[in-house]
Amino acid sequence: MKHLNWLLLFNVFIVLLYLTIRLNTFDGISNEEWSIMTSIRLPKILMAMLLGAILSMGGVVYQRLLNNALADSYTLGVSSGAVLGAACALIFFSSAIFIPLMSAIFGLLILVIILTLSAWLDNGRLSITVILYGVLCSMALSGILYLLIIFNPTKIQSIALYMFGSMSGMNYNHVLISTVLCIGLFIYARYFKYELSVLELGDLKSRTIISHVKLHKLMALLVFTIPTALLIGYTGIIGWIGIIVPQMIQRKKSYTMYNHLYSSAIWGATLLMCCELVSAFMFYPIQIPVGITVMLFSLPLLFIMMVNKS
């Protein structure tokens, strides 16, 4: 765990760099610069940190419980469902409070549909084709989303931000909600540490150790889906974090479920913070949506992981 302490210090450095870069802080901080640092930049980088941690923890649970290295909210269709829910809220409701609510509802609904289809059509062998059903569902949801855009051209820009993933517009209310969700996931993982470790053994072995295996597994998947789907209602789709980080950590050392969650949370936070830093200042004053930067970063990382595996 010593390397994680250094990683936490590096995260502090990233936060300070993000707050002060391209500001003349050597001659003192003006009121305008202080406002930029505390009101605009700090909520964005904190949100990136929390979202990276939540996405990575979700990826760990999906992959270990479904026994599929590609399982993630992005590949299971949860992200597409959440974006569709956010788009529907933008179009049909005037209040912004419905956006994360609809995002969470649609994301959960898609997960339940995918798991039900996989269990029904493949005799309960969730790990075999669950990703295929997730990808197919994402394609169908994308088609519906494009139809909504065509019939509501005035909402194109707002919906496009959700499709790319961005930290713009984040404030301390979003940070507070994300903090509560992140802490809640750690509490759940700590309290049900034993059950989570047993569940990854598979249904047959798990039944000999604990009761209500399917209920425990469904509850774990839903608990780690709710924060992801809800936060997509704020930031939009940010994919691949939940796939790359858990795999990258597990390749170096065999972790227990809880330690894997803890390590992935820190690494996921670091990766998304670095991507947000690049997105905000690489082509300054133009800011690239962080979801695009994550995709560009993910390609070489995935390639390196595949080469090392072969």
Please state, in angstroms and rounded to a whole number, the distance separating the CA atoms of residues 246 and 243.
6
Q: What is the mean pLDDT of the chain?
A: 90
| Cβ-proximal residues to 303 (8 Å cutoff; 6+ apart), any chain | none
Question: What are the pLDDT digits (tens) for 37-84?
Answer: 999 999 999 999 999 999 999 999 999 999 888 899 999 999 999 999
Res. 274 pLDDT band, cuts 50 70 90: very high
Instruction: Please check whether residue 160 is in contact with residue 230, taking contact to mean a CB–CB distance below 8 angstroms.
Output: no
pLDDT of the residue at 27: 66
| Cβ-proximal residues to 292 (8 Å cutoff; 6+ apart), any chain | 164, 165, 279
Q: How is the chain split into domains, by residue range?
A: 44-309
pLDDT of the residue at 252: 65
Alpha-carbon distances of 238 from 37, 44, 241, 270, rounded to whole Å:
24, 14, 7, 14
Is residue 229's pLDDT more than 90?
A: yes
Alpha-carbon distances of 244 from 251, 271, 287, 301, rounded to whole Å:
11, 10, 24, 8
| Cβ-proximal residues to 263 (8 Å cutoff; 6+ apart), any chain | 4, 249, 255
Query: Which fold is adopted by the domain 44-309?
Result: ABC transporter involved in vitamin B12 uptake, BtuC (1.10.3470)
Residue that has been written with the tokens 């803890």 in this structure: 262
Please state, in angstroms and rounded to a whole number, the distance separating the CA atoms of residues 271 and 294.
9
| Cβ-proximal residues to 307 (8 Å cutoff; 6+ apart), any chain | none
DSSP three-state, residue 96: coil
